[in-house]
Amino acid sequence: MSADAVNDCYIALELSQRTWLVGFLLPGSEKVQTMAIAGGDADALLGAISRIEAKIEGDVWSEGLTCRMRVCFEAGYDGFWLARFLLDHGIDTTILDPSSFLVSRRGRRAKTDRIDVEAMAFTLKAYLLGDKSVCRPVRLPTPEEEDAKRLARERTQLKKERTRHVNRIRALLILHGVRSVPGLWGGRWRDALSNIRTGDGRELGRFLLRELCRQFERLDVVHAQLKTLEKERIEACSTEGSINSGQKIRILKQLSGIGEVGAAHLVAEVFHRTFRNRKHLASYLGLAPSPYASGEVSRDQARRETNRRASCLSNLRGVGSNTSHKAI
């Protein structure tokens, strides 16, 4: 433990949409002080940090001491841009994994933004002074790595949206005894709807027909966006040196059951990361067990989550076909 580390100022940020709560632990103090600024105002945050520095410099006892600003916040809603902003201004910044915090096991635990920011400031201090058990930091991805994930994630969202529209159309028609649904995959649905009859031989109702038309129009938009996204993916994969490198994808495709889309997804989400060992990799993918053993009781807490993530990984196999209509 260095003397410089002891004399650092530890600043925790509790980020929300409306306000950012800044909690700071001054050198030699055991009390976290707080101030609030407008949410999303990075310049106001720099001003707050400057005021904290001025406060430290104004203390008589701090003369001649080197004091660094050590900032932290939880990974979450605001993403990673704030960390890059602070690092660009020379401020040491750590992104913390909120799921790794040591939490009190009391049945009823008070929770406010002030309590959270105070606990985070002490957690940051303990971590930077050498206690690695109190929390885990989150690796800051490069802007290129973060942007590369958008192709696979947008595709997943579009396929979910397509499934919602298809299910809604089918549900509306089944309500009236219509089991066959033509035009779901880009066919001539307008002509098909004009010829559909209900289970008891009647034409579709006026408002039902209009609702179905609007649902099909939204479905057509999703189909068009998926085609555009597929062109962008092919273009990105053909560019060597990018995160979505075609070389990595070609290597993964040599494995049995891995398609081009699944390989691109793995490259964007997994293979730019660094894993210490195979256990670390299994933990990231949700494949590592989480045992609960106390006395004669022994069970695996993560069995359901492990099965779910394993199912998601298995769904990546063979999704290289662009003609499949099943949502990943």
Residue 104's CATH number: 3.30.420.40
| Signed CA dihedral, 292, 293, 297, 298: sign only | positive
Average pLDDT score over residue span 111-136: 91
Across the beta sheet with 33-38, the strand order is 33-38, 19-25, 9-15, 69-74, 92-96
pLDDT (0 to 100) of residue 241? 60
Higher-confidence position of 321 and 307: 307
Last residue of a domain, one of 88, 105, 128: 128
The residue to which tokens 């696979």 are assigned:
152
CA distance 278 to 288: 10
- Do 253 and 177 share a structural domain? yes
- Do 111 and 203 share a structural domain? no
Total domains, the chain:
2
CA distance 197 to 214: 19
Last residue of a domain, one of 93, 128, 163: 128
pLDDT (0 to 100) of residue 313? 52
Residue 55 domain-assigned? yes
Residue 299 domain-assigned? yes
Would you state the torsion angle of the CA atoms of residues 269, 274, 279, 280, taken in this order, to the nearest 10 degrees? -70
pLDDT (0 to 100) of residue 227? 93
CA distance 274 to 216: 44
pLDDT at residue 50 is higher than 90: yes
- Do 122 and 232 share a structural domain? no
Residue % of the chain over a pLDDT of 90: 40
CA distance 85 to 92: 11
- Whether residue 73 contacts residue 13, with contact meaning beta carbons closer than 8 Å, is answered with yes
**Residue pLDDT, tens place only, 54-68:** 888 876 455 556 788
Residue 327 domain-assigned? no
Residue 161 domain-assigned? yes
Residue 112 domain-assigned? yes
Residue 134 domain-assigned? no
**Residue pLDDT, tens place only, 74-100:** 998 888 999 999 999 999 999 999 888
Residue 214 domain-assigned? yes
**Residue pLDDT, tens place only, 130-152:** 998 899 999 898 888 888 888 88
205 phi and psi angles, rounded to 5 deg: -60, 155
- Do 261 and 163 share a structural domain? yes
Range of the domain at 34: 3-128
- Do 46 and 10 share a structural domain? yes
pLDDT (0 to 100) of residue 245? 64
Q: Are strands 19-25 and 9-15 parallel, antiparallel or unpaired?
A: antiparallel
CA distance 268 to 265: 5
- Do 110 and 183 share a structural domain? no
pLDDT (0 to 100) of residue 291? 78
- Do 163 and 116 share a structural domain? no
Last residue of a domain, one of 70, 102, 128: 128
CA distance 262 to 260: 6
The residue to which tokens 């499934």 are assigned:
163
pLDDT at residue 191 is higher than 50: yes
**Residue pLDDT, tens place only, 6-29:** 678 999 999 999 999 999 999 888
pLDDT (0 to 100) of residue 321? 41
- Whether residue 127 contacts residue 112, with contact meaning beta carbons closer than 8 Å, is answered with no
Residue 135 domain-assigned? no
CA distances from 141 to 92, 155, 209, 272, 273 (A): 16, 21, 48, 9, 9
pLDDT at residue 305 is higher than 80: no
pLDDT (0 to 100) of residue 195? 85
Q: Say what the pTM is.
A: 0.75
**237 Cβ contact partners less than 8 Å away, ≥ 6 residues apart:** 244, 245, 246, 249, 260, 264
pLDDT (0 to 100) of residue 146? 87
- Do 284 and 222 share a structural domain? yes
- Do 119 and 151 share a structural domain? no
- Do 11 and 112 share a structural domain? yes
Average pLDDT score over residue span 272-290: 78
- Whether residue 127 contacts residue 247, with contact meaning beta carbons closer than 8 Å, is answered with no
Closest CA to 210 of 226, 227, 193: 193
pLDDT (0 to 100) of residue 61? 52
- Do 203 and 260 share a structural domain? yes
- Do 160 and 123 share a structural domain? no
- Whether residue 259 contacts residue 318, with contact meaning beta carbons closer than 8 Å, is answered with yes
Residue % of the chain over a pLDDT of 70: 84
